[in-house]
């Protein structure tokens, strides 16, 4: 596998690859937040009245809330009035209808990112919705999906085209005032993806969204809603990158998943927001609320995440296991290098009978980083026969970093079966020497061992993204050992 090794070596030698800025005209509102800004955002998107009202209610609730402080992270207070809440690539009234209308510079950006909007997408069989700063730029493969009855479009489009579906499901998994950042998102969310899979349909391709923060001093607040109707099946992937900037940028997204009877949603994330430089300057604050509702019997929601970016990550993809026999899964690799801070994990709320959940969390800390797993397993009195298996493994590279584990377990039903396993290990000198004696360089040996550590999670990723995730990991840990 020296071909791979060569590529890896190239990657390892590189810096953050996605740190470029695209110079395009932007339509943006001035920094600051008040009811007028919320109305302005809603107006810019030609939203119906119900949506504007929904936003305003969220904003008013947000004003009464305080930022959470319980996470194992520290940062300077955020000045919410200095953030710009809406920035969109030019043409304000008429969003591009097809790829031909998209600014070529924008397409160039996606090329640099390696996102295959046209040909490569077709080859890969991936439908891509690309969210640039706040606006969804183009959704490919709409036609082919429409044949199957699948709706895959930007959130803005869904609000105007499918208002009934949006009204019915928006905020039913993550309520407006769920938490401080979710409330902020509900007030100012700019765009995101919307997916509806009709009854009995198996989505014919992987759906994918790439998020990109380009503009300076901008927050990104995307909102994603996926509904899998009875007996349907969908696999969805999101990827994220941002330019290198000295100041911190806020990203507060909300993702809601709804799985009805016998439906299955697989949601994968490769998160590579700019993590800041090696001294901890700059980087994205990734404060995200992701939750899936297994509303129907025998439904299943599976989260897989590979988190290598962001200065600070605050994120707990969760499953509410309401339907009988429903299944929730969470597979996570979280890497923190240099001065990155991660407080991430999952929540599994067992409500229905015979509900099952699995949490596999792999945390890797290097440099001066802090990496915390925080997870909640709650078995409600109605959840007879519920089962959970949790495994939290931490790998430390170097002696300046730290790993923490905060598992919360609440069992209110006697028949619950809960298992929790946790390990902390370091890459040993013995392992490195063994690999080097067989001919691998030290860097390749580290990558080999780290990838081995993460294998249980990587094998849950769609094939083509598993490779990307592995490469990302190696870049992220550049210089972490030696």
Partner 1 sequence: MLVIDSLHVRVQDRDILDGLSLSVGLGEVHAIMGPNGSGKSTLAQVLAGRDGYEVTAGRIEFLGEDLLALTPEERAHAGLFLAFQYPIEIPGVNNAYLLKAALNAQRHARGEPELDAFEFMRVIKDNMKLMQIHEDFLSRSVNTGFSGGEKKRNEILQMLTLEPRLAVLDETDSGLDVDALKIVANGINSLRDPQRSMILVTHYERLLELVKPDHVHVLAHGKIVRSGDHTLARELDERGYEWIEQEAQSA
Question: Which stretches of the chain bind partner 1, using CB under 8 A?
Answer: 1-6, 428-431, 433-442, 444, 448-449, 451-456
CB of 34 to partner 1, least distance (A): 51
Residue with tokens 């959940």: 357
What are the backbone dihedrals phi and psi of residue 178, each rounded to the nearest 5 degrees, phi first?
-55, -50
DSSP codes joined into one string, 280-292: S-SEEEEEEEEEE
- Nearest CA to 143 out of 58, 234, 204, 54 is that of 204
CB of 429 to partner 1, least distance (A): 7
Please say which residue, 329 or 393, places its beta carbon nearer to partner 1.
393
- Nearest CA to 137 out of 118, 160, 119, 151 is that of 118
Residue with tokens 């790993």: 403
CB of 8 to partner 1, least distance (A): 10
Please say which residue, 415 or 428, places its beta carbon nearer to partner 1.
428
Please say which residue, 6 or 105, places its beta carbon nearer to partner 1.
6
CB of 469 to partner 1, least distance (A): 15
Q: Are strands 135-139 and 126-132 parallel, antiparallel or unpaired?
A: antiparallel
Burial category of 170 from C-beta neighbours within 10 Å (exposed 0-12, middle 13-18, buried 19 and up): buried
Sign, CA torsion 251/268/391/367? negative
Enter the tokens of residue 5. 């090794």
Task: Measure the CA–CA gap between 156 and 133, rounded to whole angstroms.
Answer: 14
Enter the tokens of residue 74. 């520290």
Task: Measure the CA–CA gap between 208 and 127, rounded to whole angstroms.
Answer: 6
Residue with tokens 């992220």: 476
CB of 358 to partner 1, least distance (A): 17
Please say which residue, 172 or 425, places its beta carbon nearer to partner 1.
425
- Nearest CA to 95 out of 34, 161, 170, 35 is that of 161
Please say which residue, 34 or 428, places its beta carbon nearer to partner 1.
428
DSSP codes joined into one string, 410-442: EE-STT-EEEEEEEEEE--HHHHHHHHHTT--H
- Nearest CA to 448 out of 16, 2, 14, 13 is that of 2
Cα angle, residue 12 at apex, residues 10 and 18 outer, rounded to 5° = 90
CB of 427 to partner 1, least distance (A): 10
Please say which residue, 13 or 452, places its beta carbon nearer to partner 1.
452
CB of 434 to partner 1, least distance (A): 4
* Dihedral over alpha carbons 106, 271, 188, 116 (to 10 degrees): 30
Please say which residue, 106 or 445, places its beta carbon nearer to partner 1.
445
CB of 471 to partner 1, least distance (A): 16
Please say which residue, 248 or 394, places its beta carbon nearer to partner 1.
394
Per-residue b/e over 65-95, b at no fewer than 16 CB within 10 Å?
eeeeeebbbeeeeeeeeebbbbbbbeeeeeb
CB of 428 to partner 1, least distance (A): 8
Length of the chain measured in residues: 482
CB of 368 to partner 1, least distance (A): 24
Q: Are strands 151-154 and 193-197 parallel, antiparallel or unpaired?
A: antiparallel
CB of 464 to partner 1, least distance (A): 18
Please say which residue, 279 or 437, places its beta carbon nearer to partner 1.
437
CB of 13 to partner 1, least distance (A): 17
Please say which residue, 131 or 364, places its beta carbon nearer to partner 1.
364
Please say which residue, 386 or 461, places its beta carbon nearer to partner 1.
461
- CB under 8 Å to 452, separation ≥6 — which residues? none
Please say which residue, 11 or 115, places its beta carbon nearer to partner 1.
11
């Amino acid at each position: 596998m020296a071909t791979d090794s060569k590529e890896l070596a190239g990657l390892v030698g590189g810096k953050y690859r996605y740190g470029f800025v695209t110079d395009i005209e932007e339509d943006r509102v001035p920094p600051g937040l008040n009811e007028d800004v919320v109305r302005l955002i809603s107006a810019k998107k030609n939203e119906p009245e119900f949506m504007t009202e929904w936003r305003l209610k969220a904003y008013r609730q947000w004003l009464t809330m305080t930022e959470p402080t319980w996470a194992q992270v520290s940062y300077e207070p955020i000045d919410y009035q200095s953030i710009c809440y809406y920035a969109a690539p030019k043409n304000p009234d008429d969003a591009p209808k097809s790829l031909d209308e998209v600014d070529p510079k924008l397409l160039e950006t996606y090329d640099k990112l390696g996102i295959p909007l046209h040909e490569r997408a077709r080859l890969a069989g991936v439908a891509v919705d690309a969210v640039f700063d706040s606006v969804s730029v183009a959704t490919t493969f709409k036609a082919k999906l429409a044949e199957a009855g699948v709706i895959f479009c930007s959130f803005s489009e869904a609000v105007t085209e499918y208002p009934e579906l949006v009204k019915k499901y928006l905020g039913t998994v993550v309520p407006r005032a769920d938490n401080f950042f979710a409330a902020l998102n509900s007030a100012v969310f700019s765009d995101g993806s919307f997916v509806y899979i009709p009854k009995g349909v198996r989505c014919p391709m992987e759906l994918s969204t790439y998020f990109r923060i380009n503009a300076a001093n901008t927050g990104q607040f995307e909102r994603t809603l996926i509904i899998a109707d009875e007996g349907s099946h969908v696999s969805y992937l999101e990827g994220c990158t941002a330019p290198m900037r000295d100041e911190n940028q806020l990203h507060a997204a909300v993702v809601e998943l709804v799985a009805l009877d016998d439906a299955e949603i697989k949601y994968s994330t490769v998160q590579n927001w700019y993590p800041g430089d090696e001294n901890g300057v700059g980087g994205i604050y990734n404060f995200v609320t992701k939750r899936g509702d297994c509303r129907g019997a025998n439904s299943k929601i599976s989260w897989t995440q590979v988190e290598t970016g962001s200065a600070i990550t605050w994120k707990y993809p969760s499953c509410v296991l309401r339907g009988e026999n429903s299944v929730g899964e969470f597979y996570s690799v979280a890497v923190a290098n240099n001065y990155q801070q991660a407080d991430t994990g999952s929540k599994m709320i067992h409500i229905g009978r015979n509900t099952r959940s699995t949490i596999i969390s792999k945390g890797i800390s290097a440099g001066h980083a802090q990496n915390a797993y925080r997870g909640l397993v709650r078995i409600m009195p109605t959840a007879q026969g519920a089962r959970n298996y949790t495994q939290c493994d931490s790998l430390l590279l170097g002696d300046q970093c730290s790993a923490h584990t905060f598992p919360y377990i609440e069992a209110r039903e006697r028949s619950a079966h809960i298992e929790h396993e946790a390990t902390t290990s370091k890459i040993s000198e013995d392992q490195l020497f063994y690999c080097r004696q067989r001919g691998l360089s030290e860097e390749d040996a580290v990558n080999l061992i780290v990838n081995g550590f993460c294998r249980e999670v990587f094998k849950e990723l769609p094939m083509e993204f598993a490779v990307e995730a592995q490469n990302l990991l190696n870049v992220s840990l550049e210089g972490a050992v030696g």
